Amino acid sequence: MIKKIATSLGVMALVLAACQAQPVDERPATTSTSTAPPTTQAETGATSSPMRIVDTVQCEEAGEDVVIVCEAYDLIQRHYVDDIEDSALAEAAKLALVSEDPPVTSSPLSCAIPAQAFIESCETAAGFNGDDKTAAEAILTGFTSYALDPNSAYFDKAALELLEQEQEGEIEGIGALVSPEDPTIEGENKQCAIVSETCRISIVSTIEGAPAEGAGLLKDDVIVGVDGESILGWTIDEVTSRVRGPAGTDVTLTIERESAELDVTITRAAVEIPVLESATFGDAGYIRLSVFSQTADEQFERAVVALLGEDVSSLVIDLRNNPGGLLDTAIAVTSVFLPDGDVVVTEGPGERTSYPVEGTAIIPDDLKVVFVVNKGSASASEVVSAVLQERGEITVVGENTFGKNTVQQRFPLSNGGALKLTIARWVTPGGLDFGGVGVTPDVDLAVDELDAEALVVAVLAAA
């Protein structure tokens, strides 16, 4: 069933990780067995090191702190959109276990061996300065950071709880949408997962009325520190977790703006994630859809019905900075416009799935409809815009969209956390793939700085 499938985006948020996916299936994760029994010294259960002993274990014998490595390996092999070699995952684990500091304890470290290629990774763990749980979680972060695409991620229990709060529509934080990008990455998709000298987190927008807006954060500000600490080497989720926090508490961000650094102290607050606003300007109807949340489709249809009741002659749908959300919501929104056909096609390992429209179209044939998009329009926003553009139902105005053509699914892990994996890529029913490039507008127009009324006037004149 579609209800729990979601598209998610590489744009992340410090109050909502706008690229989150709902789980398709809550089946318990399963462990894998080694593809080949280790035949080296590791088979005896101990790998010697000048620093500490590493006890290697097969997956069927792994303890509760380390079995998540086996669970994650199995999920990646069964569900990830591309084939990933054991050697690539083992190298990612090795990179994650490299520690700049010597071990703080000489006690043995347990290390799971889901495949023979991981023996060398476990040998590297001899220099790791954490415990079993920390090492296992580091390996999962290594998988998603070094071997998989930027839209895959590991959430520990605390991060997962924050994500679930976001999906309820209200969280506590600062209210800023950010994008982690690295211009040195080859290809169109510049998304990155670990902050470095080239992977930087920039402000995309702030939520109206939220603390980030009140503190004066601006689009294109770059976050370089949190509470006096450099964020170099942090994962994007670590940055998100540190910036978020209880309402009424302060967080200080070090911001780089036009080559200068400044510290901005922001008092966190409960932030309601906006979903939709609508208005009329003259005889034009206007709807701004901010996210494809669980209830966004119902709100969208009600807004359309209300505007049609006012006899509007045109309809402007504003998807600027809409980072996406649930696929079933995107299908329902598209179904307001299309009476038949498919909305999107997903292509995953060994399968191709089409998702048809549902319900009844309510847009009159003679109504002029304009969709407004920008670089921050991603994922589900692109699905809806692309298929309606392809079918000739709308005019798209603005700038090329983000270019996220992947679908993620979240899988629960036995430690209370979850692994989010890219499980498919989407294309339009006509076969067009906008991954990395984005949806190309019919009319190029600078739309970022326009308020609702000015936007309606500008895009209707341009379209």
pLDDT for the residue 412: 96
Place of tokens 């591309």: 82
Among 243, 271, 299, where does a domain finish? 271
pLDDT at residue 367 greater than cutoff 90: yes
Q: Domain check: are 206 and 301 in the same one?
A: no
Tell whether 200 is covered by a domain.
Answer: yes
pLDDT at residue 92 greater than cutoff 70: yes
Comparing 26 with 385, which gets the higher pLDDT?
385
Q: Domain check: are 301 and 356 in the same one?
A: yes
pLDDT for the residue 51: 67
Integer Cα distance of 195 and 201 in angstroms: 7
Q: Domain check: are 181 and 39 in the same one?
A: no
Tell whether 9 is covered by a domain.
Answer: no
- Domain that includes residue 61, residue range: 20-150
**How does pLDDT run across 181-211, given as a tens digit for each residue?**
899 988 766 778 789 999 999 998 888 889 9
Among 248, 271, 294, where does a domain finish? 271
**Mean pLDDT computed over every residue of the chain:** 85
pLDDT at residue 124 greater than cutoff 60: yes
CATH code of the domain in which 448 resides: 3.90.226.10
Tell whether 96 is covered by a domain.
Answer: yes
Tell whether 158 is covered by a domain.
Answer: no
Place of tokens 């200068």: 260
Residues 6+ apart with CB under 8 A from 461: none
Q: Domain check: are 264 and 286 in the same one?
A: no
Q: Domain check: are 329 and 208 in the same one?
A: no
Q: Domain check: are 326 and 243 in the same one?
A: no
Whether the pTM exceeds 0.75: the reply is no
Do residues 46 and 432 make contact, with C-beta atoms less than 8 angstroms apart? no
Compute the average pLDDT of residues 24-45: 32
Do residues 27 and 82 make contact, with C-beta atoms less than 8 angstroms apart? no
Q: Domain check: are 266 and 290 in the same one?
A: no
CATH code of the domain in which 219 resides: 2.30.42.10
Q: Domain check: are 366 and 310 in the same one?
A: yes
Comparing 30 with 459, which gets the higher pLDDT?
459
Q: Domain check: are 80 and 143 in the same one?
A: yes
Number of Cβ within 10 Å of residue 140's Cβ equals: 26
pLDDT at residue 336 greater than cutoff 80: yes
Tell whether 245 is covered by a domain.
Answer: yes
**How does pLDDT run across 370-416, given as a tens digit for each residue?**
999 998 898 999 999 999 999 999 999 999 998 888 888 899 999 99
Q: Domain check: are 454 and 321 in the same one?
A: yes
**How many structural domains comprise the chain?**
3
Among 215, 243, 271, where does a domain finish? 271
Token pair recorded at residue 155: 């959430």
pLDDT for the residue 18: 33
Q: Domain check: are 281 and 396 in the same one?
A: yes
